[in-house]
Amino acid sequence: MTKADIVNEVAKVTGVEKVAVQKTVECFMEVVKDALVKDRNVYLRGFGSFIIKKRAQKTARNISKNTTIVIPEHYIPSFKPAKSFSGKVKSNVKRK
């Protein structure tokens, strides 16, 4: 599902114009990104949490040059789904 699909679905369900829904969705994403950049987690009850995870320093290999490199510790954004959300996905999704 793409952002355009989400906008279309929300507009269809709520009856709000697509332009307004698109602006709302984009604003929501900006607020989440800005919060994570400022090292603030975002918690959405019943849906999940957007959090910052710390990755420890590690040694990796550049196989094309046959050398080792050190990847410094860094932070990455992550999403942790709520238990109720995970439970619904586990019980309803059937993969081919």
DSSP string, 42-90: EEETTTEEEEEEEEPPEEEEETTTTEEEEEPPEEEEEEEE-HHHHHHHH
Residues 42-73: tens digit of each pLDDT:
999 999 999 999 999 999 998 899 999 999 99
Residue 96 pLDDT: 61
Mean pLDDT of 4-14: 96
CATH number at residue 49: 4.10.520.10
* Residue the block writes with tokens 């990455």: 76
- Report pLDDT for 61: 92
30 and 57 belong to one structural domain: no
Task: Evaluate if residue 94 carries a pLDDT over 80.
Answer: no
State which residues form the domain around 22: 1-39
Q: Which of 20-24, 46-50, 79-83, 87-91 comes out lowest in average pLDDT?
A: 87-91
Task: Please give the tally of structural domains in the chain.
Answer: 2
Whether the model clears a pTM of 0.95, i.e. scores above it, the answer is no
